[in-house]
Each structure stands twice: as C-alpha cells, then as structure tokens.
Amino acid sequence: MNYQYSPIFPLLTLALLLLSSPPCRATSHSSSSVNNFLQCIASKSALLLESVYTPSNPSFDLVLRALIRNRRFLTPQTPKPVAIVAPTRVSHVQATVVCARDTGVQIRIRSGGHDYEGLSYRSNVTFVILDMFNLRSIKVVVDKEFAYVQAGATLGELYYKIANQSNVHAFPAGVCTGLGTGGHFSGGGYGNLIRKYGLSVDNIVDALVVDVKGKILNRALMGEDLFWAIRGGGGASFGVIVAWKIKLVRVPAKVTVFNVPFTLEQGATDVAFKWQQVAPKLPDDLFIRLQPTVVNGTIVVKFIGMFLGESNRLVPLVNRSFPELNLMKSDCKEMSWLESILYWDNFPPGTPVEALLNRTQGARGYSKNKSDYIKTLIPKSGLETIWKLLIELANTTTANVIMQWNPYGGKMSEIPASSTPFPHRSGNLFLVQYIVFWDEEGQNVTDRNVDRVRYMHDRMSTFVSKEPREAFLNYRDNDIGSTASDETNFSDALVYGSKYFKDNFPRLTTVKAMVDPSNFFKNEQSIPPNIN
C-alpha cells in the first residue's frame, strides 16, 4: 500500500526540488501552452508521461468516457480535454499541478466523475483532466476505528473494505456506490446514516491535499481554515485532495430495510403529510426517504427505510410514532449493513457484495436534477398540487420524473451551520431532489426534458426555502449561475455561493484568497478569491 501519511514524505520533496525546472512562461496561446505543459511533464518524470493520454492516444476516448455517467455530456458537441493525466503516485499529482500552473494550463480534477454538470471533465476553456482513478488505495484500521481512503476510490470499494474487516463498522456517505470520495466528500456527502451520524464531512479527521505550490499538506500543515473549507466547500476550488482520514462509525450486525408504496387510493397524501411531521423527529436510528413517482399516469409514493436495528424493535417503533405507514414485519428485510448498501443502490436481490468492486459502470442514460430545502410543512392541498405537477410533467413516454425527499433532523440539527461550509442544518425538515431521466437521443429531447425539471422547480417555489432559495452543492446545478464566461465578473458566484453556502460563503472566499490568490483551482462554479 503506497501510503505516505507521515506529514511529508522526505524523498518525494527532495525529488521535486531536484526536478523543478524554472517555470515556463505562461502564454495565452493555448496550443503552445499545452506543448509546454507536456514538455514540463516529460521533464519531471518519464513514468508520469506514461500516465498522460492525448487525443492521438488510442485509449484517450476510453479513459475519458470511463467516468462519464451522464450521456448529456457524451455528445459530439461536448468539448473534450486536450489531455488526461492519470497519476499513479502522489508525487505525480504534485508535478501535474506545478506544470499546469507554470504553463498557464487549466486543470479539471476528476475522481468518480459523478458531477451533475460534468464540471470534472467538461469545460469551454482549454483544459487538462487530472484524473485520480489510479489513486484509490484504502486502509482500514479497525481497532482504532478509522480508515485512510484515497480520492479515486469509490464508495463501493470503501464500504466493501470496511465490512471486510468488521461487520459492526460503517461510514456515513452516499447511496450510489460509484461515487468517488474526492468529489463526494468535499461536497458534503450524505446517505441514509445522515440522521444518526451527519454528513461524511462530519466524520473526516484529516486529509492530504496538494496545494497550488505543489506542496503536499496534511491537516497540521494546511491549518484549520483550509481543512474547514475542503469539508463541504468543494475540493476543486482549493487544491487536489489526495486522501482522507475518516472516522468509522458503529452499526449493528443486522440492519432493517423496507420499501412501502402507497397509491392515492391507499391514502398516499395523508401518509406523506404525516411523514413531514415525524420523519425529521424519529429516533436517529431510523431514516425514511419519501419518493413520489408516476406510474401509469398516477402517483405512487414510496417510503424507503433504513433502520439501525432489527425489525422486532422497528415495527413497534413505527406503529407508535408513524402508525399511518402501517409497517408490517413482512415489509421488513434484515441484513448486514453491507448488504443494505446493495439494496439501497438498487442492485438485483442476491447480487454478491463483490459487485461493489466493479468499476466499469459506464453511462446510464440522460438526466438533469435540481434541489431544494423545505423548512415548513407543505399542506395537504400543496401535496395534491405537487402530485398533479408530477403527473403533468410525466405526460410523455420519453421522460421519467421522480422526486426524492430526504429527512434531516437528528445529528443534522445538532451540528452548528458554521462548523463546516455545508450550511443546511437545523431548521430544515428535508432536502428535495428533482430528477428527470430519459434514454432517447437528440438535442430536442434533451432540451424538452431539461425544461421539465426547470418547470417543476419553478412551480415549487411557494413550498421551499427563500432568500436565498438554497441548493445542495453535491446536486450541482448550473442554472443557478456560472462564472465561466467572464473571469473578473463574480456576480454569478454571489448567487450560487449564497445558495450553496449561505453565511459560510464569505469565509470560503477568504480561505480561497489565502491559499490560491491567483485562482488556479477553478471551474465554472468554483469559489472566487475575496470578492468585495
């Protein structure tokens, strides 16, 4: 295992000192910058040069597409990088940053490639992808209850490795097992343990980051400001996250899951109304997601549950606090925490847990999502309005329209809003995600379906947070602004900054100005240095 977790790896620093050549002058002419960049890479290390894919390399398209999940960004119109660098060691990440900075080439950092707007691999500027998929070791230290995980590891790999060492330990993070820890954790990271243990970032105790100078920093070296910023402020604005040190959490050997659907005739509206009142207040061991879907022109609301305990404790608990759900023992499935991961990620029943190690997932279709926060109960009449809206939007055979309502409360209400950049803590009943997905090709289909999700979001405005209308960074949405067109005009950044980070945005810009004043680490929705 190539873990360099000691503060600084002396040989590596020495090697960098010896290799660093005088900076090539930055130039505005992009093709010569790219050549300078590649020459710089070659001068650092022949081995690193072997990790570089340019468009003339036969593997270029394969490597590029391997981590593109959304076919919306796999069209001939999608701009491509001029090169992909996929380092196999940490010193190569440092060299890539130094070369890009010195030759004036922009980089986009990719770990799992699940960014909703593809900002880890798509840009209208000339850019190079720094692809982290080769850096994916995981080391679990069960007796000390922590683990080290590199940025290119997927959640599936992390979950598998934890469970391989202990059946009573886990980590609170996303439901989708293909996510990369590099992007997922730095954007907050949540899953069905959120009410018990909070976000991924609430359970991170150290990190290794390559800064704009090419230095490798752990928590002690980077200081508390930068360590605060990367836990929810998005990694891409501050440096390259190489690895995290995470605190494992405890789970019972058996957990219980369920998925109970209600049609309108079965009282879906009443149950959903009650859900809003109880789901954020239930014991922390219980997380119930509400998922309205449209089936054959009518509404089916699914209640998908995760309970940290056995069903003989769960059924009476629900009967007492949420009798409208009418949960029966026969609705419940008991399993290990690792098996619950497969269940929640919709693997077919009986899939072996080793499937979590399969990285070749490919693009799954087209989609566009948006998010909202709900702070006050939606009245029954409002729920009926929402059901009508969903049915209206699903009036096509080419699009699937669903929502996911994820309850907060529990640990989320206990953690102060300023403790990490993620600001959506107490006062929120639940997070809403709007999802439209489809399989049919064509720009006309895409435009129409993207309009559907925008329309749904527009029509929800009376029910959701206001001033600002908040949004979740990990559900990135370019509709709320993008700074790509004009690098000196940060008016859009003020908009998305306040939606994603609320009162934490000013501190993020201050940290940015401290650690990366020249704004080297950027993308279309990054944090700008101090704006006044």
Ligand X SMILES: *[C@@H]1O[C@H](CO)[C@@H](O)[C@H](O)[C@H]1NC(C)=O
The nearer residue to ligand X, 7 or 442, going by C-beta atoms, is: 442
Side-chain-facing half-sphere of 258: CA atoms under 13 Å: 24
Q: Residue 12's closest CA among 196, 201, 150, 210?
A: 210
- Which of 82, 86, 100, 109 touches ligand FAD (CB under 6 A)? 109
436's CB contacts (< 8 A; 6+ apart) are 367, 368, 369, 393, 399, 400, 401, 449, 450, 452, 453, 456
Is residue 190 a contact residue for ligand FAD (CB under 6 A)?
A: yes
Q: How far is the CB of 152 from ligand FAD (least distance, A)?
A: 7
Task: Report the amino acid identity of residue 363.
Answer: A
Q: Segment near ligand FAD (CB under 6 A), from 179-187, 256-264, 274-282, 318-326?
A: 179-187
Q: Segment near ligand X (CB under 6 A), from 4-12, 268-276, 306-314, 483-491?
A: 483-491
Q: How far is the CB of 333 from ligand FAD (least distance, A)?
A: 20
Q: Name residues contacting ligand FAD, limited to 239-278 (CB under 6 A).
A: 240-241
Distance between CA atoms of residues 152 and 183, nearest Å: 9
Distance of CA 324 to the CA centre of its chain: 33
474 interface partner picked from ligand FAD, ligand X, none, CB below 5 to 8 A per type? ligand FAD
> Given the structure tokens 């590029």, which residue do they identify?
64
Is residue 57 a contact residue for ligand X (CB under 6 A)?
A: no
Is residue 312 a contact residue for ligand X (CB under 6 A)?
A: no
325's CB contacts (< 8 A; 6+ apart) are 260, 271, 275, 288, 303, 318
- Which of 70, 96, 103, 269 touches ligand X (CB under 6 A)? 70
- Which of 106, 336, 369, 428 touches ligand X (CB under 6 A)? 369
Q: How far is the CB of 365 from ligand X (least distance, A)?
A: 8
Say what the alpha-carbon torsion angle 10, 11, 13, 15 is, to the nearest 10 degrees.
170
Is residue 378 a contact residue for ligand FAD (CB under 6 A)?
A: no
> If phi over 0 gives left and psi between -120 and 50 gives alpha, with beta otherwise, what is residue 519?
left
Distance between CA atoms of residues 473 and 278, nearest Å: 26
Is residue 444 a contact residue for ligand X (CB under 6 A)?
A: yes
Is residue 81 a contact residue for ligand FAD (CB under 6 A)?
A: no
Q: Could you give the 3-state DSSP secondary structure of residue 329?
A: helix
The nearer residue to ligand X, 214 or 468, going by C-beta atoms, is: 468
Is residue 524 a contact residue for ligand X (CB under 6 A)?
A: yes
Q: Determine contact, residues 112/180, Cβ cutoff 8 Å.
A: yes
179 interface partner picked from ligand X, ligand FAD, none, CB below 5 to 8 A per type? ligand FAD
Task: Report the amino acid identity of residue 416.
Answer: P
CA dist 146 to 141, 308, 373, Å?
5, 20, 32
- Which of 104, 214, 235, 280 touches ligand FAD (CB under 6 A)? 235
95 interface partner picked from ligand FAD, ligand X, none, CB below 5 to 8 A per type? none
120 interface partner picked from ligand X, ligand FAD, none, CB below 5 to 8 A per type? ligand FAD
- Which of 296, 462, 518, 532 touches ligand X (CB under 6 A)? 296
Provide the terminal-to-terminal Cα distance of the chain, rounded to the nearest Å.
46
416: buried, middle or exposed (CB in 10 Å: 19+, 13-18, 0-12)? exposed
The nearer residue to ligand X, 263 or 376, going by C-beta atoms, is: 263
189 interface partner picked from ligand FAD, ligand X, none, CB below 5 to 8 A per type? ligand FAD
Q: Could you give the 3-state DSSP secondary structure of residue 215?
A: coil
Size of residue set near ligand X by CB under 6 A: 33
Q: Could you give the 3-state DSSP secondary structure of residue 443?
A: helix
Is residue 179 a contact residue for ligand FAD (CB under 6 A)?
A: yes
Q: Which residues bind ligand X (CB under 6 A)?
A: 69-70, 116, 122-124, 164, 176, 295-296, 315, 319, 328, 358, 360-361, 367-369, 392, 395-396, 398, 435, 442, 444-445, 482, 484, 489, 491-492, 524
Q: Which residues bind ligand FAD (CB under 6 A)?
A: 69, 108-116, 119-120, 132, 151, 174-176, 179-180, 182-184, 186-191, 234-236, 240-241, 474, 523
